[in-house]
Amino acid sequence: MKRTSLLLLLIATLCGQTASAQLLTGLLGGSTTSATAALGGPQSGVIVRTNLGPLGLNAVCLLQGCTVVGSLDGELNRVFLVKPAAGLLPEILAGTLRLVTGILNVEVDHPLLIPRNSPNVTTIPPGLYDRTPVTYYGSTVWNGYANQPAAQIVGVSESRAFRVSGAGIVADIDTGVDPNHPALKGVLLPGYDFTRNQAGGSEMNDVSHYTGTSCSSCQSAFVTQSSVALLDQSSVALLDGSPLVAFGHGTEVMGVIHLVAPTARLMPLKAFRPDGTGNLSDIVRAIYYAVQNRANVINMSFDLTSSSSELSSALNYATGRNVLCVAAAGNAGRREIVYPAALQSNVVGVASTSDFDARSSFSNYGNQIVWVAAPGEEIITTYPFGTYAAASGTSFSAPFVSGTASLLLNLRPGINQSQLASALTHEKYVGPDMGYGRLDIYRTLAGR
- Same domain membership, residue 97 and residue 173: no
Q: Which range (16-25, 32-41, 228-237, 385-394) has the least confidence?
A: 16-25
At 315-341, the pLDDT tens digits run 999 999 999 999 999 999 999 999 999
Q: Are 376 and 396 in contact (CB under 8 A)?
A: yes
| pLDDT score recorded for residue 42 | 55
Q: Average pLDDT over the chain, rounded to whole?
A: 84
pLDDT at 220 over 50: no
Question: Do the domain assignments include residue 342?
Answer: yes
- Same domain membership, residue 243 and residue 206: yes
Q: How many domains does the chain have?
A: 2
| pLDDT score recorded for residue 276 | 82
E strand or H helix at 445: helix 441-446
Question: Do the domain assignments include residue 385?
Answer: yes
Q: What is the pTM of this model?
A: 0.86
pLDDT at 18 over 50: no
Question: Do the domain assignments include residue 70?
Answer: yes
Question: Do the domain assignments include residue 37?
Answer: no
| pLDDT score recorded for residue 120 | 55
| pLDDT score recorded for residue 114 | 54
Angstrom distance (rounded) from CA 179 to CA 173? 15
pLDDT band at 119 (very low <50, low <70, confident <90, very high): low
- Same domain membership, residue 192 and residue 259: yes
pLDDT at 270 over 60: yes
pLDDT at 23 over 80: no
- Same domain membership, residue 257 and residue 141: yes
DSSP letter at 363 equals: -
- Same domain membership, residue 282 and residue 202: yes
pLDDT at 224 over 60: no
Q: Which range (195-209, 354-368, 421-435) has the least confidence?
A: 195-209
- Same domain membership, residue 52 and residue 194: no
Q: Which of 62, 84, 109 is the last residue of a domain?
A: 109
Q: Which of 109, 137, 161 is the last residue of a domain?
A: 109
- Same domain membership, residue 263 and residue 288: yes
H helix intervals, 25-126: 53-64, 90-97
pLDDT band at 26 (very low <50, low <70, confident <90, very high): very low
Angstrom distance (rounded) from CA 272 to CA 105? 25
Q: Which of 109, 134, 162 is the last residue of a domain?
A: 109
- Same domain membership, residue 103 and residue 130: no
pLDDT at 305 over 60: yes
- Same domain membership, residue 147 and residue 64: no
E strand or H helix at 376: none
pLDDT at 237 over 70: no
Question: Do the domain assignments include residue 120?
Answer: no
Task: Give me the domain span that covers residue 55.
Answer: 46-109
At 134-163, the pLDDT tens digits run 999 999 999 999 999 999 999 999 999 999
pLDDT band at 112 (very low <50, low <70, confident <90, very high): confident
- Same domain membership, residue 85 and residue 197: no
Question: Do the domain assignments include residue 67?
Answer: yes
Question: Do the domain assignments include residue 62?
Answer: yes
Angstrom distance (rounded) from CA 209 to CA 426? 45
pLDDT at 15 over 60: no
Q: Is 347 helix (H, G, I), strand (E, B) or coil?
A: strand
Q: Are 177 and 254 in contact (CB under 8 A)?
A: yes
Give the CATH number, domain containing residue 442.
3.40.50.200
Using DSSP, how many helices (H) and how many strands (E) does the chain show?
12, 22
At 46-80, the pLDDT tens digits run 999 999 999 999 999 999 999 999 999 999 999 99
- Same domain membership, residue 356 and residue 330: yes
- Same domain membership, residue 350 and residue 228: yes
At 366-419, the pLDDT tens digits run 999 999 999 999 999 999 999 999 989 999 999 999 999 999 999 999 999 999
Question: Do the domain assignments include residue 94?
Answer: yes
